[in-house]
Amino acid sequence: MEYHLAQVNIAKMLGPIDTPVMADFVANLDRINVLAESSPGFVWRLKDEGNNATSFKVYDDALIIINLSVWKTIDDLVAYVYRSDHAAIFRRRQEWFEKMTRPHTTMWYVPGGTVPSPQEAVERLDHLQAHGETPYAFSFKRKFTAEEALEFQSSR
């Protein structure tokens, strides 16, 4: 069976999405989302009627937004995040988002053809916070393979 890489990141906005502090971020959303969807290895991303994920509320704090996507490989995700035009937007994140004091990004493997739910993504972030990096929930700091993730899950 083929496995893909799911990734989630959350961010706490400096103000509501429709305020001036978020205007430049919002102005770049469509461009960056099109870039993701046209990037090698892209499989899927969470989106709402506005073609982005800003309306999904997964925490009680309405200022926390979620980005959830699936990629064929970690290398595909790395290329998009750090080596495409996304990197310039990523470097500007402090203009729009607070520094998070908890894990805000994690990755895990999903069977090809399936997509994770926002609730599963939150559970994976919570697991990372509670247990650190494991094949169940990890970050770019300590990457795991799909085989390691399967072995880990079968031992639980």
- Domain chopping of the chain, boundaries: 3-154
Task: For 87-142, write each residue's pLDDT tens digit.
Answer: 999 999 999 999 999 999 999 999 999 999 999 999 999 999 999 999 999 999 99
* Concatenated DSSP letters of 16-38: -TTSGGGHHHHHHHHHHHHHHHT
Residue 147 has pLDDT above 90, yes or no: yes
Q: What is the fold of 3-154? A: Alpha-Beta Plaits (3.30.70)
Query: Which pTM does this prediction carry?
Result: 0.94
Task: For 69-102, write each residue's pLDDT tens digit.
Answer: 999 999 999 999 999 999 999 999 999 999 999 9
CB 39 within 8 A of CB 79: yes
